[in-house]
Amino acid sequence: MNRTEINTKNAPEALGPYSQAIRIGDLIFTSGQIPIDPATNTLVSGGIVEQATQSLRNLQAVLTEAGSSLSDAVKVTVFVKNMDDFAKLNEVYGSFFTEPYPARSCVEVARLPKDVLVEIEIVALAK
């Protein structure tokens, strides 16, 4: 089965030796996206609401480049620095997804790249 690399200038460049996403068969696997504004290559200011919003916008851009969208997401994994932010994170998340919602895991972690508050990755269906 062929693997196809997905990259777009509308999302932050990879911070290391990895791709923004890989398509294999009918699935797209994104790398985790953190709240970097691709226009300025800097972290967005603010708290969990602003950071989750930017992370999801970055994922939208990657999926769009792959010919997919957030509505095609089947599994989302959220890494959050503080589980106390869970309710605010859910509000933002709910504004990006509609029913039927993708399966999701949310895990509190000790630290994320660049000390951000959230990182999100998605597995989506390819169109």
Does residue 62 sit in helix, strand or coil? helix
Q: 31-78, pLDDT tens digit by residue? A: 999 999 999 999 999 999 999 999 999 999 999 999 999 999 999 999
* Residues 46, 30: Cα–Cα separation, whole Å: 24
In the prediction, which pLDDT does 125 show? 98
Which of these CATH numbers, 3.40.50.360, 3.40.50.720, 3.30.1330.40, 3.10.20.30, describes 3-125? 3.30.1330.40
- Respond yes or no: is residue 106 known to be catalytic: yes
Rounded to the nearest integer, the mean pLDDT of the chain is: 97
What one-letter code names the amino acid at 21?
A
Confidence of residue 15 (pLDDT cuts 50, 70, 90): confident
Q: 95-104, pLDDT tens digit by residue? A: 999 999 999 9
Q: Are 52 and 79 in contact (CB under 8 A)?
A: no
What Rg, from alpha-carbon coordinates, does the chain have?
Answer: 14
Question: Taking Cα atoms as reference points, which of 17, 15, 18 lies closest to residue 6?
Answer: 18
Token output for 99: 């029913």
| pLDDT greater than 80 at residue 1 | no
* Residues 34, 54: Cα–Cα separation, whole Å: 8
Q: Write down the residue that tokens 């062929």 correspond to.
A: 2
* Residues 61, 110: Cα–Cα separation, whole Å: 27
In the prediction, which pLDDT does 127 show? 84
Please identify which of the residues 27, 49, 106, 125 carries the catalytic annotation: 106
Does residue 115 sit in helix, strand or coil? helix
**Most distant pair of Cα atoms in the chain: their distance:** 42
Threshold 0.85, pTM exceeds: yes
In the prediction, which pLDDT does 14 show? 87
Token output for 70: 């957030």
